[in-house]
Amino acid sequence: MNLEQEILSNSIKSYLYILGVVLATYIFKRFVSRFFASLIYTWIDKKNHSELRKSHVHRLVIPIEQFLLFLVAVIALYELKFPEVWNVHLFKLTLQQVIESVVKLFFIILLIRVCLRTLEFVSIVLEEKSKLTKDQTDDQLVLFFRDFFKVILYIIGVLLVLRYVFNENIGNLVTSLSIVGAAVALSMRESLENIIASFIIFFDKPFTVGDLVKVNNFTGTIEKIGLRSTRIRTQDKTYITVPNKQMVDTIVDNISLRSERKIEMDIQLSVQTTASLIAMLSAHIRSVIAQQSHILSSTVFVADAGKQAHIIHVECYVAMQVSISSLQQLREKINVEIIEFANQHQIQFAENG
């Protein structure tokens, strides 16, 4: 066989050389891709846990293999001469230009895919490491920045396609779209405000995932803080979504950061109740409260004396470690003691309107 014989403007020797390079890459691509995946994992996790390595490195291997094989194949094929018989025109473009554009498109897609898989790989490893800490802020922070950088990568991918596939001048394109961009920005002002608010939440940390909060008359536990909104599981077991802008602009009561829980009651007595009976009831309430070991401090006083009712105001504070059910049982016990004392001494409660 004459290796110098030309087929489609290239010698058989050139074809065999290209085929050998591609086959060698196909054989060694698994080793190279595993090396790069392991290198990235080692860079992220200095402790280099073997079990985590085995369970996560494979996520990067396949996209790196595909990208590496495609890259080497393209570089090798560029060493060949484009066949003269294929030098035809399709509309205003030559077949060579069309093929080059398609190759660039696939190259950009595979590159962005590798970047996305790397981002997911990094986020998974960091997420598992963050689970080892008690603070849940870093857990949500990993998910937040994963979604954020995904959007950035998609935007970069679109710009690369416009620049290298369609040969558009990105600078001129951005300038020509500035007015349209301004209009879009105005129409998406609320979404942009929510995104900015999400950064404020993450860096200012008025609340974190797992905190019990009260906002807009809803009380619940923060389950997720996203780019646009915050998800809350309410005490009624419903799942509500609150825009981040509202979480920043409105008053948010972070119940988890309270130092103490509060029991507050207003005992309304009939206006016919004598001052001595009111004083006896107040003293009895203080005595009942003093017997409760969970109560840290308390206040009992006659808050109002009027035409419709005499009001005894009661405030008790317990530690945050006391559960809600224990708090409700304590409140019930105090109320029952008040009712029993009132019945024994014929103290009448005020009637509503």
Using pLDDT thresholds of 50, 70 and 90, give the confidence band for residue 286. very high
Please give the backbone phi and psi of residue 243, each rounded to the nearest 5 degrees, phi first.
-55, 140
| Per-residue confidence (pLDDT) for residue 146, from 0 to 100 | 82
| Per-residue confidence (pLDDT) for residue 75, from 0 to 100 | 80
pLDDT per residue as tens digits for the range 181-206: 555 555 567 777 887 888 888 888 88
Residue 80's CB is within 10 A of a number of other CB atoms, namely: 15
Rounded distance between C-alpha atoms, residue 310 and residue 189, angstroms = 53
Q: What average pLDDT is seen over the chain?
A: 81
DSSP 8-class letter at 162: I
SS3 for 169? coil
Q: What are the DSSP E strand ranges found in the chain?
A: 6-7, 10-11, 89-90, 93-94, 212-215, 218-225, 229-234, 239-243, 253-254, 260-269, 295-305, 310-319
| Token pair for 23 | 């086959």
Cβ atoms of 191 and 243 closer than 8 Å: no
Cβ atoms of 75 and 84 closer than 8 Å: no
Cβ atoms of 196 and 243 closer than 8 Å: no
Rounded distance between C-alpha atoms, residue 156 and residue 169, angstroms = 14
More confident residue, 256 or 214: 214
Rounded distance between C-alpha atoms, residue 146 and residue 133, angstroms = 19
Which positions ≥6 away from 345 have C-beta within 8 Å?
A: 277, 280, 281
Mean pLDDT across 248-271 = 89
Residue 14's CB is within 10 A of a number of other CB atoms, namely: 18
pTM, entire model: 0.52
**Pick from 205, 294, 214: which is nearest to 255 by CA?**
214
For residue 41, pLDDT over 90 is answered with no
Q: What fold is seen in the domain 259-344? A: Alpha-Beta Plaits (3.30.70)
Pairing of strands 295-305, 310-319: antiparallel
Q: Which helix (H) or strand (E) holds 13?
A: helix 12-44
| Percentage of the residues of the chain whose pLDDT score is greater than 90 | 24
Q: Report the CATH number of the 192-256 domain.
A: 2.30.30.60
More confident residue, 10 or 182: 10
DSSP codes joined into one string, 47-99: T--HHHHHHHTHHHHHHHHHHHHHHHHHHHHTTSPPPGGG--EETTEEHHHHH
Rounded distance between C-alpha atoms, residue 314 and residue 233, angstroms = 31
| Per-residue confidence (pLDDT) for residue 312, from 0 to 100 | 93
Rounded distance between C-alpha atoms, residue 142 and residue 186, angstroms = 29
Cβ atoms of 266 and 302 closer than 8 Å: no
User: Of the given ranges (31-45, 103-117, 248-262, 315-329), which has the lowest mean pLDDT?
Assistant: 31-45
DSSP 8-class letter at 137: H
